[in-house]
A = this chain, B = another copy of it.
Amino acid sequence: MQGQNQQQAYDRGTTIFSPDGRLYQVEYAREAVERGSPSLGVRTEDGVVLVAEQRVRSPLMEQSSIEKLHKVDDHIAVGSAGHVADARQLTDFARQQAQVDRLRYGEPIGVETLAGAVTDHIQEYTQTGGARPFGVSLLIAGVEDGEPRLFETDPSGTATEWAASAVGADREAIHDSLETNYRADADLDGGIDTALRALASVRDAFEPSEVTIATIDVETEQYRTLDDDEIEAHLDEIDFEDDDE
């Protein structure tokens, strides 16, 4: 561990290692992720669940335009946390990869393949000069050969697979809740509750308008978002932070 001045000597670009082998710009990009409101993913027997929190800054703002869940292909979607414009760039990149694969091979892209392509793209921004890393982490959820898959990317360009995970602010506390409550044999509704409960563990309360929920079903292999009534119904079942702490 080095002092402040030492660190500053090595943290201005992606093209240098610090003496102890760290890439500070990548670590700072992770801080950008921590600044963003969280997205969560939960894998269940029946499919994958994505939940994202959005901070509505004004009643005049359209909630839909700040939602962080996006369909990439029929059977794949992403959630994100961090620098919003970077997330859109990576989502666009993911969509192009999915289209190219469909055109080239005539079948839907695999979730793991897509996660690999996205993280390859991210890694390049951490090794070559003239650019900064992407300040965003993605959750890439989908169904592949009838199996639900959930991947997470980080600003270094690493992809990891999870049963359930979260990116963004309060990540550690949310993870604690997920680890406690996760059941592999839950159905989609159960997965949604697990995710909302984890988010609720770090919030006093939230409105249906403050969360987006989406699922990808192993049967239909289709992306689907829940409407406000459905969200409301799920929220009714959740205990919030001030309750259970």
Contacts and interface: CB of A to CB of B under 8 A. Distances in A.
Interface of A: 7-25, 28-35, 58-62, 64-66, 82-86, 88-89, 92, 116, 119-120, 122-123, 125-135, 151, 156-165, 175, 178-179, 182
Contacts of A164: 60
A179 B60 contact: yes
A5 to B, nearest CB: 10
Nearest to A63: B161
B11 A19 contact: yes
Contacts of A135: 17, 21, 23
A134 B128 CA distance: 11
Number of copies of this chain that the complex holds: 7
A143 to B, nearest CB: 16
A151 B21 contact: no
Contact of A34 (B13, B21, B86, B122): B21
A208 to B, nearest CB: 18
Nearest to A24: B19
Given A35-B21, A65-B151, A159-B65, A123 B85 contact: yes
A198 to B, nearest CB: 11
Contacts of A133: 17
